[in-house]
Structure formats: C-alpha cells, structure tokens
Structure 1
Amino acid sequence: MEYIQPSFLYTRLVDNLPWKGGDPSVKGDPRKSVKWIDGLRGIASFLVVLTHLARAWDYDLFAPRDTQDATPRVLQWPFLRIPWQGRIGVTIFAFLTGYVCALKPIKQSRNGDTLGSFTSIGKSAFRRPPRLILPATIALIISWVMAQCGAFIVANRSDCWWCRYAAPDLEDSFWKELLRLPGNFLTTWTTGYMAYDDHQWALLPLLKASMLVYVLLSATMFVKFRYRLAIYLGMFLYFHQDAAKDTETFQMQAIYGVFLSDLSYETAFKEFVEEHRIGRRIVAGLLTFVGLFIAGYPGEHPEWSTWSNIMLTVSHYIFPPGVNIGKRYSALGVDMIIFAIYISPSTKDFLSNSLLLWFGKQSFAVYLVHGTLLRTVLCWMLYGITGQPWEEVVDESGNPIYDEDGNRVLPPWIQIRPPWVVALSIPAWIALVYFCATMWTKYVDPMCARITQKIENWVFQEDEKDAAPPPLPMTSLPMPTA
C-alpha cells in the first residue's frame, strides 16, 4: 500500500474548499473581474444577516444604550456597533449596482467602441429585470409553499416581535392564498411589499437604480470627462434632496458608483494616487476612521448618548428636513470608506482573498434565502418545532376574549430557549444559510441565466456580426476623457 504524506492530504483538502475553486488566469473565471468589488459584496451580505439577527433578538443594539440612564454595552460603542444595527449592507449593494453596471460600457467607450458600449447598455438593461425577478420569484414561491405547510407558525407564536411582524399570517382559505401569491409578486415590483419575505423590499429600488445608471450612461456617452463629473455631482446633489425614506439613498449610491467606475479608467488620477503614497495612506486612514464613526449613527434614540446627540444636531444642517437620518449617515460613512478602499491597493488585495470572493459569489443567494430560513429553521431551533404550548384564550362558552381596545387576547408568547441553545443554534444556522446559498448559486442562478438568455435570443434582433452594418459614424469616437 502506497504511503501518502499528511502534507499532501492537507494540501488537497485546502485546495478543494468551496472558496478555493477556480483559477483567476482562466477565461471566464469570476475572480478575473474587479475582485475587490466581489469581496466587498460578500461582506455586505454577511452584515445583512448579522443585522437581522440583532433586529430579531437584541433590538437594543440599534440604540446607543439599552435605556437612557444605562451604561452602554461594548457592542453599542461607536465603530463596534456597525455590524449589528443595520443599514450599511444594503447601502453597499446600492453602490455596487452603480459601479458594476457602469464598468463595461465606460471601458468600451473609452477604448473607442461606442457602438459596443451602447450595445452593452441595451443588452444589460434588458437582462437586468429577469436576472432579478426570476430568482426572487422562485424564492417567493418557496416561501409561499412553506407558509401553506405551517412553517411560520412558530415564528408567529414566539417572543420575537420582529419574527411575528415579518412572518406571514395566512388567509382563512387556500383559495385566498392562491390569489394572494400573484398579488404579492405584483406588489414586490410595484410598491416593494412582499408578505412572505419582507427582505425583498430592496430589490425594486435596486432595479430602478440600475435603470437610472443605464439612462445616465447613454445620456453622457459623448460628454467630456470633466463635464461628466459635473453631471454626476449635480445628480448626486439632486437626489440628496429626495426625502422618500425607503429609497432615498439608493440613487445617490448608484451615482457614486458610476463616478468611481468612470474614475477607475482615468490615467491621470491613477498616476497621481500612485505618486503620493504617503498622502494616500493618510487620506485613506482618515476617511476610514471618520466613515466608520459616521456609519455607526444609532437607528434608535440617538439623543441618549452625547456623541450621537451631537450628530443628530448636525444632521439638521447637512440633510434636508424629513429624511431618515440614520440612512443618510450610513450612506455618507459608506462613501468615505469605499473611497478609502478605492485608493488603497493593500485593502483591495485583502478584499480579493479567496474566502471573501466566495462569500461575494453567494451574496445574492444569501439575501434571498436567509429571511425565510430565519423565520422557519432558526425559530424552530430556538423555540421548538411544534409551536406549543399555545392554548387559545376563550371564555366559558368557548368564544374569543377581547381587551378594552377590541383586540383579541392571545396566549403568552413562547419563550426562547436557554442561552447555550442560542449559542449553538445561531452558528449552525449561519452555516445552513451559506450551504443553501451555495446550492442556489450552483443550480438556481444558472437556470435563471439560461432562461434569460433564451428570452434574449427569442426577442432580440439578429446579432450585429450577422446583420448589415448600421450607418453610425460615431462608432469610432471614444468617450471624451478631457
């Protein structure tokens, strides 16, 4: 029997981990793209998961302290509070939408392939809706089926207020539930509301942001770079005045993404940054420090702490009235942090490591599946599968009892299990989320991509190389860079 060295076995094991697959030098490998973006996407998706865990079982982390007179906990301190208190993950997704959507068209135009740039914009704009809607609809159907099987009963009876709020209540007949399914599909893409998985609210503003990017790129294709910067700034300031609390920062982040995407091809800027290494490091460090501090603005009761109360006072001078101050500070902080990353090669290298790239590859799937798994599997782990004991409160005649306000009196909520159960359940659940996301990325996403390609082949005109050359004299004109 041939002896196999342990070092060889270790090397084979490490090389075959999920995040070790692929070779960046091979054509088509996803890591051959702008890798730090994928790493940042992976961090953003993980922060979304942590945020929803905190929202469900430790909502006090959203405030600077548990009560007005309490001593702040360590996780409520500035900087350390960022992963738990929300907003930053979705804000990063909005930036990435602008950056990624603009990357290829701008590169083609700057290389003189204006026709190719318009072609990329047209095809990308067509592909974007089905690439979002198809997987989101599959996730909707899965959640709907689980609801019909009673998977959300435990969440609706738990002592977790947010699980009860987010878990769907079934209609009184299956026919009504059948009618409710297409209704939820419609509202997901018209108003952002989806009863079976409310995390899908962000998909509509992300889709709108991508369309804004495509329109902006088309409108500025022949504008000189210096004037494109002025247009980006003007649009950023315009959307700064938007007070729609659900989507107010999406457009600004998308425009910011387009700006940095365009700037990445500007040779003079890259040379300037490279020539001033010490200054670059100082600026990146300051931006990171200030950005992390600003992004930690409390979502609840900022007046309970001196540092956050000062930020609340300052917000009245830098933000329009009636806006969501927490989202605005998060967006401002994220923009500073991203620019610090943008000018820091070492940070980009860190974000490009294999583990973060693997997390980034699963990010969209994690976003789609984690909400349903949280209100079903995790609630089963923390409260039991049966949802018992749960005895209806009725009078002597068996009729429901109502309080003075006309609300039905419900049994006491089921209490969460001991801390050691929680400590074991949450890491196991996170591993399950990423396992399901991996399966989704492996099987569901390619299927949606194939369906999208078939739709594209069906409805698009004959490919440019087989069709008669269009009379477009501007095809040899590059996007102006001065």
Structure 2
Amino acid sequence: MSGRDSRQNVKWVEGVRGVASFLVVVTHLARAWDYPLFWPADNEDASPRILQLPILRLPFQGRIGVMMFSFLTGYVCAIKPLRQIKSGNTSGALSTLAKSAFRRPPRLIMPATIALVLAWLVTQLDGFSVVRVCDSDWLRNSSPEVQGNLLTEIPRLLWEFRSSWIDGTNAYDPHQWALLPLLRGAFLIYATLFATCYMKFRARIFTVFTLWAWFWCSSQWKTETFECMFLFGVLLCDIGSEVDFRDYVNSRPKQRRIVQSILIFLGLFVGSYPEGNVHWAAWSRGIHAFHFLFPSDHDGPKRWSSVAWHLIALGFWLSPTLQTIFSNKLFMWLGRNSFAVYLTHGTLLRVVLVRLVYGLTPAAYYIENADTEEPIQHWIPRSQNWFVWVVELPIWFGLLYIVAHLWTTYVDSWCAKATRTLEEAMFVKEEDEKTPRPEAMV
C-alpha cells in the first residue's frame, strides 16, 4: 500500500456508544413517569407538548438506543479482522476471530451475572419495597419481589440466570433482555467474517449486503433491531477502511456536507415515528403512509427507528467533524462506562430514584368500595413539585455515572483479567508467542 494513511478514525464509535447508553436510561425514565411522550400528543384533541414534536421526541421514546448498540457491536467486532484481511494477514484475522469469539461470552456474562446477583440481594433485603407500591405501572410490573425463603430464592436465582441466556429474560433485572441477542449477534459477525475472509473486497461487500437484505426482508422478531444493525456495522467498517473511498469522499467536502446533513435530518424525522396513536398527528400519518416498504407483520415503530439509525449512522460516518466531536474526552468517558450504565441503571432507578421521588418509606393505602365494601388499593402518587424533579434527576444521574465508573474500574476490569486468564489456560500459544524476544534472552 502507498504511504497514505490506511486507518480510519474509529474513536467516534466509543463516543456514540456513550450516547446510546444515555438514551436507554432516558427512555426508561419516560416509560416510568411520562408514557404519553411515546405518542404524538396526550390525547387526540390535545396539542402536542414540545417534547412530543418530531425530532425533539427522539431521545425519550426509545428503541433507537439498543439499535445503536447493535450497530456498534458490528462495527467494533469487524475493525481488527478486516484490517488484518486487507493487509494480507488472513491467518492473523482468523486467529483474531477465534480469540474474539472465545472472549465475547465471558465478557458479557460475567459482569451481567454480577449485576443480576446484586439485584437478587437487593430483592432479599426488600430494597424494591417502595417501587412495588408506586403509581408507575411500568416500574411496578418490572420490579421483583421475594417469593419465599432462601430455599426458594437461591434456586430461583439460578433459574433466572439460566433464563437470561436461554430465553433473554430474568425477573431480577429485566433490562438485561438485550444481552442475549447482542451475544448471538457477535457470533453472526464472526461467522460472516470467517466465511468472507478470503473474498475480494467487492465480493465481500456484496455478500454482507445480501445477508443484510435477507434479514431486512424477514418479519421475524426484531431482525431490524439486531441482525440488520450488526451487518450494517460490518458494511460501514469495511467500506470506511478503503483508502480510495475515503479520499473520494473527502475530496468533495461540499457535496459530503449536503448529503450527511440530509441523511441525519431525515433519520431524525422518521425516527420520531410514535409508538402508539399514530393517527393523532399529520406528520406521523405521513410517515405511516410509507409502511409498504416493510414486510408484512412488521413492527412499525421499530422498523422506522431502524431506518432512522441507518440514515443517522451514515451521516456520522461521512462527517469528520461529527467524528471528531464524538471522539473528545467527555464522549469517550461516557463510552467507556456505557456497559456499566446499562447494567446498573435499572437497580439504581428502582432503589434510589424512586425513594427520591416517593419518599423513603411510603406505603400504599386502601379505601373501601362503596358498592362492594371491598378495599381498593391506591398506589402512592409521585411528587407533583417540578422543583423536586429538577433537583433529584441530576443528583441521580451523577450517582449513576459515579457507580458506573467504579463498576468499569473494578468489576469490569476484574472480568477482563479473568477472561484473559481463561484464554491463556485454554488456548495454544502461537509460534510468535512461544519464541522468546531478543531482549528477554539477555
């Protein structure tokens, strides 16, 4: 290869990962306390609130955060193998794929299991007592409670661990549902790169695109959220690592800026598609008119969010300016702690934030039904003081990111060391590792 730089900027991916985890948290706050944000208005006759307007509603209505994780998984998993393939080191790429495939399960399962056990301990200590009597249906229905003594709860913990990695659900930390599809997706990426590592660049692009199109045409569960995004990440990583392509794009800055701006704006607009009551607004009805683009029995909101992230990711990918912004220290820090935020925010939300909102030890109360004379349970109401929310949410977010930083520093690093120890014990050393370095022989 010539003296031109063959490496693309990939730091921005880490910054975008930090944004994705933040969006997931914001979405869960909206689900807990302001579900109408998922609609175009509070009711059919009401005017939309500012956060229900197109584009502005995007961070609160969810869906796109998990898709960003899927895309970034594909992008990151493909970086090193593709770099080795393009440099002619195919054997090195195969070795990388083998080791990456080995590392992926423990690097996901170990920290997730620690988070699961902590949620189980909180359950045994009745830490979810407040959330189970609060006025948020979503919080109550997604919070665990003790079902018996330890002879019941310990086997239940083992069963929920099994369920996490077989069915993708567990009662103690339901937000871990996405980890199983992300684990499966990583192996889809490894298998795809293994099958195409000896192909020419254009043949590999055609093959991966065909596989992407096959999943896009499928109406199976969340293929637009996971499989399509994994493969789209691989596609952009592969094309973006071609020096000729980058030189072609960068030599046309004016056209590139126009294209990326259109892509990002259009992505933000169609990604605003509501989760329900689409007919309440003209703009959402206009988007819905194009539903014929998708296969039958599709999930409309998730399909439009997938289209949105395809367009937005393309815009980011084409923009050196945006890549530089997402590569700064703040976004990189958010990205390093993104997995920890994902694992810890559910328990902190149900244990800490609910007590800030509802009080430390509130209790539901009962009134008697005048007709049946049976008691009716009334859930404790949330605070109606806007000042409380303005103060408590920043405090809670600060606590969340402090906990996430400590988790990344200690828990995640321990999991990484444990994984390396397993790898050293189970893998045969390669020849270059067996040969002593000259300085080591002195």
> 1:383: which partner in 2?
358
> 1:412: which partner in 2?
378
CA contact (8 A) 1:192 1:202 kept: yes
Query: Residue type of the partner of 1:37?
Result: V
Aligned pairs for 1:3-42 (under 5 A) are 34-42=10-18
> 1:473: which partner in 2?
none
> 2:302: which partner in 1?
327
Which among 79, 89, 104 is matched to residue 113 of structure 1? 89
Indicate yes or no: 2:144 matched with 1:157.
Answer: no
> 2:440: which partner in 1?
none
> 1:474: which partner in 2?
none
> 2:285: which partner in 1?
309
CA contact (8 A) 2:9 2:323 kept: no
Query: Residue type of the partner of 1:93?
Result: F
> 1:436: which partner in 2?
403
CA contact (8 A) 2:37 2:61 kept: yes
> 2:55: which partner in 1?
79
State the SS of the aligned residue for 2:295.
Answer: coil
Shift of 1:411: 1.9
In structure 1, stretches of 5+ residues that fail to align are 1-31, 395-400, 404-408, 469-482
Runs of 4+ residues over 6 Å off in structure 1: none
CA contact (8 A) 1:209 1:251 kept: yes
Indicate yes or no: 2:421 matched with 1:454.
Answer: yes
> 1:374: which partner in 2?
349
Q: Within 2, Cα distance between the matches of 1:139 and 1:368?
A: 6
Identity of aligned residues (%): 43
State the SS of the aligned residue for 1:83.
Answer: helix
Shift of 1:462: 2.7
Query: Residue type of the partner of 2:318?
Result: I
Shift of 1:421: 1.8
Q: Within 1, Cα distance between the matches of 2:222 and 2:126?
A: 30
> 2:187: which partner in 1?
211
TM-score, scaled to structure 1: 0.85
Shift of 1:173: 3.1
> 1:10: which partner in 2?
none
Shift of 1:458: 1.4
Which among 190, 210, 227 is matched to residue 166 of structure 2? 190
Shift of 1:422: 2.1
Q: Within 1, Cα distance between the matches of 2:367 and 2:278?
A: 40
Q: Within 2, Cα distance between the matches of 1:466 and 1:217?
A: 24
Shift of 1:230: 1.2
Indicate yes or no: 2:97 matched with 1:131.
Answer: no
CA contact (8 A) 1:82 1:296 kept: yes
Q: Within 1, Cα distance between the matches of 2:56 and 2:384?
A: 26
Identify if the C-alpha distance between structure 1 residues 167 and 112 changes in structure 2 by more than 3 Å, giving closer, same or farther: same
Q: Within 2, Cα distance between the matches of 1:70 and 1:37?
A: 40
Q: Within 2, Cα distance between the matches of 1:172 and 1:242?
A: 43
Shift of 1:466: 5.0
Which among 343, 350, 358 is matched to residue 318 of structure 2? 343
Q: Within 2, Cα distance between the matches of 1:277 and 1:389?
A: 61
Shift of 1:49: 0.9
Identify if the C-alpha distance between structure 1 residues 57 and 418 changes in structure 2 by more than 3 Å, giving closer, same or farther: same
Identify if the C-alpha distance between structure 1 residues 150 and 410 changes in structure 2 by more than 3 Å, giving closer, same or farther: farther
CA contact (8 A) 1:205 1:247 kept: no
Count how many residue pairs are aligned between Structure 1 and Structure 2. Answer: 426
Q: Write out per-residue CA displacement over residues 10-39 of structure 1, whole angstroms, 9 at most, x where no aligned residue.
A: xxxxxxxxxxxxxxxxxxxxxx97211111
Shift of 1:389: 4.9
Aligned pairs for 1:231-380 (under 5 A) are 231-246=207-222, 248-315=224-291, 317-380=292-355
Q: Within 2, Cα distance between the matches of 1:89 and 1:296?
A: 13
Shift of 1:310: 2.1
Query: Residue type of the partner of 2:146?
Result: L
State the SS of the aligned residue for 2:166.
Answer: coil
